A and B are shown apart, each in its own frame.
Chain A
Amino acid sequence: MRVFFLIVWLLQSLALGGEFQVQKYLEQDALMGEMGKKESFKKGKRERFHKREKNLYKYPSFDDFWKFSSEYWLVKNMRNLKWDRGRRDRLLEKKFSELIKGRGFSSLKFKVFIFPTNWIPHFVLLRGRGELFFFISQRFIDIAKLNRSDLSFLLFEDLLKVQRGELLNFLKKSDFYKKIGSEFFEKRRPDIGEFEKMIWKITSFYRDYGSTFEGQFYMVKEARKLLGDQLKNYQLYLQKIETSWPEQLKVFEKLQSLYPAELMKKKWAN
């Protein structure tokens, strides 16, 4: 009898022990699950915070850089460019739109500004992909006696220079260009000195570098190919540029180095 009770008691305690064991495992498992959830939540939160932090220390993307730095450059060079006394020429914009229509530039967004300076005869500012600001000096227009039809060809030439990537190729050598779109989280401070150098390089491109002989040849060759029925008018514009060249040289510094093949263009276009 005693042995029977002993067996029953042993079996019962074993059964209960197992039950407790299972319960213990279940509880532990649930706890672990809960802890895991909390841990992954904390990890996610940490990662999100880190990503947000990292995002604060970014150099601008290509489009944002050009949109911002074109304005920055204009603001910093206001005294030389005198654009505060300039104006936007919507009629010329219309004329230029008509000229480029059907010539592969349908998605181009642009504005044209005329400003009273002899610092730079004309130039284009990038505003990101497919957006440009054209600038022409009133002094240059007066000297060359250009009407809106002529000016639309001048804008077309400038557009072809942008298409060839002359400014971008020139800037690619600067250290900041490689940083566009990257981050400075580790350094904590952006390299503003390099940014300033690049802004200065933009000025240098418009003032000293300009175009090359090959660049101008390419431009006329492309214009001749694309202008088709407008070629006659383009040649008339080139005639005006050639005639007024000595006068232009008197007013605009370094014009010869900015446009080394200006007097060859008419010949090439013919």
Chain B
Amino acid sequence: MKKVLIFLFLMLCFSSQGKTWFTEASFTHLFEFAAAEGTYVDTLPCGSPVHLISEKGSWLYVDWKGKKGFLKKSATAENPPSCFREKYPKFYEALPIDSADLHYWGKWEEK
């Protein structure tokens, strides 16, 4: 009985792992460590599918196109979100958004 309970507990703990999550904010920084002040590996646009490896408090440890890092849980969703860039692709593509903007946009999402 004990073994069954332990097994069920472990199943519950790891049930969300290995799943695909999606970034929800316009742009989200993928951090090297679970700290918003640290360096970031990349900036992910809204709707990016990430492979969940594990959870750590308010952070998700994920894999995105082979790059591993931490995402703020509040900036992600379990289902594909409705993203501006996908809803209005031709308008979005024409906007003058450069790498500095992406950097600040990611920073804004941290607020």
User: Which positions in A face B, CB cutoff 8 Å?
Assistant: 56-60, 64, 67-68, 71-72, 74-76, 78, 83-84, 86-88, 113, 184, 188-190, 192, 195-196
Contact = CB atoms under 8 A, between A and B. Distances in A.
Contacts of B89: 56
Given A60-B84, A75-B105, A192-B95, 5 more contacts: A60-B87, A60-B88, A71-B108, A189-B90, A192-B96
Contacts of A113: 111
B111 A86 contact: yes
B84 A64 contact: yes
B101 A192 contact: no
B73 interface: no
B104 A56 contact: no
B26 interface: yes
Given A76-B101, A192-B96, A67 B90 contact: no
B95 to A, nearest CB: 6
Contacts of A192: 94-96
Contacts of A88: 111
Contacts of A72: 95
Interface in B52-88: 84, 87-88
Main secondary structure of the interface of A (DSSP, over half): helix
Contacts of B107: 78, 84
Given A56-B89, A60-B88, A86-B111, A71 B26 contact: yes
17 contacts: A57-B91, A58-B90, A59-B88, A64-B87, A64-B88, A71-B105, A74-B104, A75-B101, A75-B104, A75-B108, A78-B107, A83-B108, A87-B111, A113-B111, A190-B90, A192-B95, A196-B96
Nearest to B96: A192
A58 B94 CA distance: 12
Closest 10 CB pairs of A and B: A75-B104, A190-B91, A78-B104, A68-B84, A192-B94, A57-B90, A75-B105, A190-B94, A56-B90, A75-B101
A78 B107 CA distance: 10
Nearest to B91: A190
A83 to B, nearest CB: 7
B36 to A, nearest CB: 11
Interface of B: 26, 84, 87-91, 94-96, 101, 104-105, 107-108, 111
A74 B109 CA distance: 11
Nearest to A59: B91
Nearest to A188: B90
Contacts of B91: 57-60, 184, 190
A113 to B, nearest CB: 7
Contacts of B108: 71, 74-75, 83
A58 B88 contact: yes
A58 B104 CA distance: 26
A188 B26 CA distance: 24
A175 to B, nearest CB: 15
B88 A84 contact: no
Nearest to A179: B91
Given A60-B91, A78-B104, A192-B94, A67 B111 contact: no
A213 to B, nearest CB: 35
Nearest to B82: A64
Contacts of A59: 88, 91
